[in-house]
């Protein structure tokens, strides 16, 4: 146990690395995870490693185990539910496991140290929030996409010299302090994780108290946004 992380910074670094591996499993490597979680095999667990990778393995044989164990038998539920629901379920249990490991390490910290660790951890979205946000975008066609259903909308007039979509943002990222009625009428770019593009939008309404906003794309399509979530994800750039 000598190499276990001991300080707040070391424990948080361990948390971030394990979270990074699990997030990759639940997003970029999802098809590989789905195949490895074979219901025909014995009880399987999804592990995030200290190296920032992931693995699907049988549970530890030691009793009690060296570390808290992740959810047992994720493979058995795979074929009994919708794929997106299975991913969400695995994400929830993975979030619980990450916290269990972090506070297993933190047992010798004082109350102030544990509070500081929790605040650092809480800067990140949960895995569940991350995969739910990704699924939300996957179920909506990009603005102005060909073949999308719905009423004909009038295109919004933007600066003709500015592209309506791009691979990189040209403004600065939205910050929590920016969320105010002053955002109304502001041009911005909104990032879509599914196709990795930034779309030109105008903020047409803002509720600073609830952190909700309505935006309109260059195509004329409108969307309601949770600005608190957008800020956490870094998915809006102000122009």
Please enumerate in sequence order all residues whose Cβ is within 8 A of that of 122, keeping only pairs 6 or more positions apart, or say none.
none
Q: Please report the pLDDT score of residue 13 as a whole number.
A: 93
Question: Which of 60-69, 112-121, 162-171 is predicted most confidently?
Answer: 112-121
Whole-structure pTM value: 0.58
CA distances (Å), origin 188, targets 35, 127, 160, 178, 220: 40, 27, 15, 12, 15
Q: Please report the pLDDT score of residue 80 as a whole number.
A: 86
**Two tokens at 159?**
């600066």
- Please say whether the beta carbons of 213 and 224 come within 8 A: yes
Kindly state the average pLDDT of the residues 52-77: 90
Predicted confidence (pLDDT) per residue in 155-182, tens digit: 455 655 677 888 888 888 999 999 999 9
Predicted confidence (pLDDT) per residue in 194-232, tens digit: 777 888 999 999 999 999 999 998 878 888 899 998 998
Question: Environment class of residue 161 by beta-carbon count within 10 Å: exposed (0-12), middle (13-18) or buried (19+)?
Answer: exposed
Q: Is 234 helix (H, G, I), strand (E, B) or coil?
A: coil
> DSSP string spanning 32-88?
HHHHHS-TTSS--EEEE-TTS-EEEEPPP-SSS-SS----S-TTTTGGGS-HHHHHH
Q: Please report the pLDDT score of residue 73 as a whole number.
A: 93
Q: Which residue has the higher pLDDT, 131 or 34?
A: 34
Domain annotation for the chain: domains and CATH numbers = 8-138 (no CATH), 165-238 (2.30.30.140)
Q: Please report the pLDDT score of residue 154 as a whole number.
A: 47
Phi, psi of 72 (to 5 degrees): -90, 135
Q: Which residue, among 56, 49, 58, has the nearest Cα to 21 in the 3D structure? A: 49
CB neighbourhood size of 51 (10 A): 10
**Two tokens at 10?**
């070391």
> DSSP string spanning 110-149?
-HHHHHHHHHHHTTSPPHHHHHHHHHHHHTSPPTT-TT--
Kindly state the average pLDDT of the residues 143-159: 49
For residue 189, the cross-strand partners are 200, 237
Q: pLDDT exceeding 90 applies to what percent of the chain?
A: 54
Please enumerate in sequence order all residues whose Cβ is within 8 A of that of 233, keeping only pairs 6 or more positions apart, or say none.
125, 133, 191
For the chain, the average pLDDT equals: 85
């Amino acid at each position: 146990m000598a190499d276990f992380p001991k300080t707040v910074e070391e424990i948080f670094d361990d948390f971030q690395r394990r979270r990074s591996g699990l997030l990759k499993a639940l997003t970029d490597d999802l098809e590989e995870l789905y195949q490895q979680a074979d219901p025909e095999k014995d009880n399987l667990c999804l592990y995030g490693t200290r190296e920032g990778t992931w693995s699907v393995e049988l549970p530890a044989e030691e009793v009690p185990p060296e570390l808290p164990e992740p959810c047992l038998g994720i493979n058995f539920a795979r074929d009994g539910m919708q794929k997106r629901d299975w991913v969400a379920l695995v994400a929830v249990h993975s979030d619980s496991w990450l916290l269990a490991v972090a506070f297993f390490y933190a047992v010798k910290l004082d109350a102030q140290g544990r509070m500081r660790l929790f605040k650092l951890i809480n800067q990140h979205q949960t895995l569940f929030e991350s995969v739910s946000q990704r699924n939300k975008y996957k179920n909506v066609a990009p603005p102005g996409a060909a073949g999308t259903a719905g009423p004909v909308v009038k295109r919004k007039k933007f600066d003709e010299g500015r592209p309506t979509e791009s691979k990189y943002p040209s403004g600065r990222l939205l910050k929590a302090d920016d969320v105010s009625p002053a955002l109304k009428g502001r041009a911005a770019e909104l990032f879509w994780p599914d196709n990795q593009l930034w779309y030109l939008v105008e903020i047409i309404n803002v509720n600073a108290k609830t952190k909700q906003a309505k935006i309109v794309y260059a195509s004329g399509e409108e969307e309601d946004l949770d600005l608190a979530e957008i800020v956490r994800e870094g998915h809006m750039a102000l122009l």
